[in-house]
Structure 1
Amino acid sequence: MVEVFKTDVQDQRQAKRLIDQIQELFSDYTANFDLEDCDNILRVKSASGFVEACYVITVLRDFGFHAEVLPDDDLACA
């Protein structure tokens, strides 16, 4: 399963730090950012099938960032 989040992360160094933290805390997750997208997308994929969105949001919040689950139909930027 892949969960997509809208974030306020804007810097590649911050994104890398967050990816490292997510993958350290959740060993079966693979994460990546698309900071060129208008929503500064974070994609998280789980090898076991389910992404705990609230935990991912909490990790970002603990680092001072905002994240929210992006519904499938909102993936394209206007």
Structure 2
Amino acid sequence: MVFVFKTNIDSVSKVKKVTPKLNRLFPNSKWNFDLEDCDNILRFECKDDIIEKVIFLLKVIGFECEAL
């Protein structure tokens, strides 16, 4: 499954802040940010439904995130 999220992560330094946490919580997933997109898209490839977990994680560490 592919999940797409709108975020306020708009720089490489912010991506570096969330990278270890995303890798630790979702070790069997592929993900990437599209910082060129106006919605600062986060795309996840994962077998499980991870929408609520991703939103919760990003909000806990201080970022906005919503599923599209």
- TM-score, shorter chain, exceeding 0.5: yes
The runs of at least 4 consecutive aligned structure 1 residues that moved more than 6 Å come to none
- Report the Cα distance in structure 2 between the residues aligned to 1:17 and 1:6, rounded to whole angstroms: 17
Q: Which has the larger radius of gyration?
A: 1
Name the counterpart of 2:67: 69
Q: What TM-score results when the alignment is normalised by the length of structure 1?
A: 0.79
Contact 1:19 1:32 (8 Å CA) reproduced: no
CA RMSD, 1 decimal: 1.1
- TM-score, normalised to structure 2, is 0.89
Deviation at residue 51 of structure 1 after TM alignment:
3.2
Residue correspondence of structure 1 range 1-78 to structure 2 within 5 A: 1-46=1-46, 49-70=47-68
Q: Which runs of 5+ in 2 are unaligned?
A: none
RCO comparison, higher one (Cα < 8 Å, 6+): 2
